[in-house]
């Protein structure tokens, strides 16, 4: 491996390392950790928006969503026959 290539790789790795050091924690993971901590301390935690809803979707909404999806999506580059 040439000296120039080694230097280039070292500079790139330094840049990647600096980026990794400066990464901030995910807000979602932070709230999950906080809620687990508070729950372990005996506090009642209500979790909204973290995962799938435990409530069923009403049939009227579900059926309207299904009906709103087109059966075929037109493709701009295809010319109708």
Q: What's the whole-number mean pLDDT along residues 48-71?
A: 79
Residues 1-31 as b/e (b if ≥16 CB within 10 A, e otherwise) read eeeeeeeeeeeeeeeeeeeeeeeeeeeeeee
Q: Is the pLDDT of residue 68 over 90?
A: no
Q: Is the pLDDT of residue 56 over 80?
A: yes
Q: Is the pLDDT of residue 63 over 80?
A: yes
pTM score of the predicted model: 0.37
- Rounded to an integer, what distance in angstroms lies between the CA atom of residue 50 and that of residue 26? 13
Between 2 and 48, the more confident residue is 48
Cα(first)–Cα(last) distance of the chain, in Å? 59
Enumerate the H helices of the chain as residue ranges.
Answer: 3-21, 27-40, 59-68
Q: Is the pLDDT of residue 50 over 60?
A: no
């Amino acid at each position: 491996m040439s000296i120039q290539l080694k230097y280039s790789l070292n500079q790139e790795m330094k840049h990647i390392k600096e980026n990794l050091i400066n990464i901030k924690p995910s807000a979602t993971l932070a709230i999950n950790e906080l809620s687990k901590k508070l729950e372990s301390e005996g506090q009642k935690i209500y979790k909204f928006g973290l995962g799938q809803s435990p409530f069923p979707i009403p049939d009227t909404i579900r059926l309207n969503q299904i009906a709103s999806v087109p059966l075929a999506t037109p493709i701009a580059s295809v010319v109708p026959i």
